[in-house]
Amino acid sequence: MIDRLRLLAIGLLLIGSSLIGWGLYMPAKAALAQILLERAWVRAQQGDAAAKPWPWADISPVAELEIPRLHQKNIVLEGASGDAMAFGPGHMANTPAIGRRGTAIVAAHRDMQFEGLGQLERGDLIVATLHDGSRLVFRVVDLRVVRANASGLDPADAGPTGARLALVTCFPFNGVLHSPLRYIVLADRV
């Protein structure tokens, strides 16, 4: 009886610690990926067209996103698939490129790069730097919680200034389980 109990405890301990390890690994991987991405981005800006964050990388950075209030910079990747979003914010493929006419949608995890998204306020600035070095400034105009399948976002919506940017993450911010709700920060091109 006691040995069985001990066996169970050790088994639980193993599973538990590997879960913890996995749970720690995901954000660590993302943090490391962002550092490597950042370096590759700088090299790319300096003219190294073949700059890759790591040798087997098959993701393509599209912009650097700076949120001054959060003191953070992230490299945005093309595609908001799970693959890309494991490394950084993803630009949804069926929305216009950042700065193009319409609403560009960038999604990231609430427990990774967009952790502090809830602290943003109307009027805050978001700065996107594109491949060619051009800096596009957006100003936050709306903050809202929506259902994932009824976001009210329209990629064709160009807003009053011709280009909008929507940052999307899961809501509630401190939630544990997957949620059908999303938090949207909507910004207009300045």
Partner 1 sequence: MRHTQTNSSFGKSVTGSRIPRRLIAVLGFAALFATAGAAQTQMSPSCAPGLMSRDETESGTLLLRTSTPGCYLGAPRVAADISIEIAGPIARTKVTQRFENPANSWVEGVYLFPLPEGAAVDTLKMKVGDRFIEGQIKERQEARQIYEAAKAEGKKASLVEQDRPNVFTNQVANIGPHETVVVQIEYQESLRFEKDRYSLRVPLVVAPRYNPPPRAVVADNGDSPRLSLTDPVPDRDRLDAPVLRPEWGKMNPATISVHLEAGFPIGDIQSDSHAVSIVRSSKTAATLTLKDGQTATDGDFTLSFSAARDAAPTVSLLKERTGDGDYLMALVVPPSADQHVQPKPREAIFVLDNSGSMEGESIRQAKAGLLLALGRLKPTDRFNVIRFDDTLTVLFPYPVPATPENISNAESYVSSIAASGGTEMLPALLAALNDETPNDTSHLRQVIFLTDGEVGNEAELFSAIANKLGRSRLFTVGIGSAPNAFFMSGAARAGRGTYTYIGSIDEVGPRMAELFAKLERPVMTDLAAHWADVNDAEIWPNPLPDLYVGEPVMLTAKTAKLKGTLLLSGRLGEKAWAARLDLSRAHDAAGIEKLWARNKIAALDDSRVLGADADQIDKAVLQVALDHHLTSRVTSLVAVDVTSSRPLTASLTTRSVPLNLPAGWDFDKVFGKERDVDIQHADIPAGLLKQLDGKEHAENAVRPADAPMVLPQGATDSRLLLIAGVMLTALALMLLGARRKFAGMRS
Of residues 63-102, which lie at the interface with partner 1 (CB under 8 A)? Answer: 78-83, 85-86, 90, 92-94, 96-97, 99-102
User: Least Å distance between CB 54 and partner 1?
Assistant: 20
Query: Which CB sits closer to partner 1, 51 or 86?
Result: 86
Q: Is 50 in the site for partner 1 (CB under 8 A)?
A: no
CA distance 148 to 43: 36
CA distance 161 to 38: 29
Query: Which CB sits closer to partner 1, 39 or 115?
Result: 115
Residues 7-36 touching partner 1, rule: CB under 8 A, are 8-13, 15-24, 26-27
Q: Is 6 in the site for partner 1 (CB under 8 A)?
A: yes
The tally of CA atoms less than 13 A away on the side-chain side of residue 6 is 3
CA distance 138 to 159: 12
Q: Which of 126, 131, 124, 132 is nearest to 108 (CA)?
A: 126
Residues 149-188 touching partner 1, rule: CB under 8 A, are 149-151, 153, 155, 158, 161-163, 168-171, 175-179, 182-184
Tell me how many residues contact partner 1 (CB under 8 A): 77
Q: Which of 47, 77, 81, 43 is nearest to 60 (CA)?
A: 77
